[in-house]
């Protein structure tokens, strides 16, 4: 057991968060910039498809800030916004670039400034367990095979790699076997430092915290302790919250996260509200 004093940012304790999935939240009426003049987007009011884009962007979020404040919120958590090749953006291509379809870094910095002007905190989603096939370092391996200088950044098991053909073994470790999401080798000090610098970069730019995607998948000793130390050294009031699905006590000793997403509360909440309509297999998986 640790004797560490457990402290969390005061602003979080009474914060009302609003979660935004940017592609589906709001499409700006008069965007200041676009990647192209004509982008084939799905009709906004049509049922969404698995891979299609609706075209929501961060300019649209700026235009909706009055609406959000009228709801009584004072913090926003964004699902991933970095450059990606999927509409939900959990397949990260570049951790330093906001996706151009969302307006890029320019739109984000204007949104951040406007949120802070209104007293709204902004938390980003950090997907640091895995990247994507389009992530430069992994893409170099796909191009150059065993000659790539980035081999040790991932967990390569055999050759040849099969990043797209599901009839062949992928030959590299990926999250839940999804070959679109190659897992980082967090035991590599260069990978560890790379992720720490990403976290520091956006905190220095002014974000108010990180929501960490599947952090329990990262087994490297001391990883999240260092993450906390480096984030808090820049902003002691930054909020660090982990997406932990099961018993979370080991993550809440004061050395890692300020909080976790309470998945254990999900199943009884769904069962209580759904009543006879509940699908038992969904709630049993959470219990």
Q: Which residues are catalytic?
A: 213, 243
| Both structure tokens of 232 | 């808090």
Structure tokens at 105: 């870094």
Rounded Cα distance between 89 and 84, Å, is 5
Q: Count the Cβ atoms, other than its own, within 10 Å of residue 183.
A: 18
- DSSP helix/strand/coil, 173: coil
Nearest alpha-carbon partner for 24 in 79, 82, 100:
79
**CB neighbours of residue 169 within 10 Å:** 13
Strands 82-84 and 92-98: antiparallel
CA torsion sign for 197, 202, 208, 210 is negative
């Amino acid at each position: 057991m640790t004797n560490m004093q457990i402290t969390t940012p005061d602003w979080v304790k009474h914060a009302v968060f609003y979660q935004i999935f940017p592609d589906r939240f709001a499409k700006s009426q008069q965007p200041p910039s676009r990647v192209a003049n004509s982008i084939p987007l799905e009709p906004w009011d049509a049922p969404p498809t698995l891979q299609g884009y609706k075209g929501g962007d961060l300019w649209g979020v700026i235009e909706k800030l009055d609406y959000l404040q009228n709801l009584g919120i004072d913090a926003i958590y964004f699902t991933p916004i970095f450059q990606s090749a999927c509409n939900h953006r959990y397949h990260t291509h570049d951790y330093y670039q906001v996706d151009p379809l969302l307006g890029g870094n320019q739109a984000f910095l204007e949104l951040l400034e406007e949120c802070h002007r209104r007293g709204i905190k902004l938390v980003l989603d950090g997907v640091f367990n895995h990247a994507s096939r389009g992530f430069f370092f992994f893409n170099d391996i796909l191009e150059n095979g065993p000659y790539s200088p980035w081999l040790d950044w991932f967990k390569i098991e055999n050759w040849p790699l099969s990043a797209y053909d599901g009839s062949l073994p992928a030959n590299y470790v990926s999250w839940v076997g999804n070959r679109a999401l190659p897992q980082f080798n967090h035991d590599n000090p260069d990978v560890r430092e790379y992720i720490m610098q990403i976290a520091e970069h956006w905190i220095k730019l002014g974000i108010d915290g990180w929501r960490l995607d599947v952090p329990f998948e990262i087994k490297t000793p001391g990883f999240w302790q260092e993450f906390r130390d480096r984030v808090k050294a820049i902003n002691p009031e930054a909020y660090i919250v982990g997406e932990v699905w099961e018993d979370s006590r080991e993550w809440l000793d004061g050395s890692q996260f300020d909080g976790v997403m309470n998945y254990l509360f999900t199943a009884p909440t769904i069962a209580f509200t759904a009543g006879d309509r509940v699908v038992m297999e969904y709630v049993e998986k959470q219990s």
